[in-house]
Amino acid sequence: MTDTLDDKTRTELEAAVYRRLVEHLRTRTDVQNIDLMNLAGFCRNCLSNWMKDAADAKGLPMTKDESREIVYGEPYDQWRAKHQKEATPEQKAAFQKSSTGH
Read off the pLDDT of residues 16-52 as tens digits, 9 standing for 90 and up: 999 999 999 999 999 999 999 999 999 999 999 999 9
Q: What's the first-to-final CA gap in the chain, in angstroms? A: 34
Domains of the chain in sequence order: 2-98 (1.10.3340.10)
**DSSP structure string for 3-25:** GG--HHHHHHHHHHHHHHHHHHH
Q: CB–CB of 44/71 below 8 Å?
A: yes
Vertex 53: Cα angle to 36 and 16 (nearest 5): 65
Q: CA-CA distance, 77 to 54, in Å (whole number)?
A: 23
pTM of the model: 0.86
Tell me the Ramachandran region of residue 87: left when phi exceeds 0, alpha when psi lies from -120 to 50, beta otherwise: beta
Q: How confident is the model at residue 97 (pLDDT cuts 50, 70, 90)?
A: confident
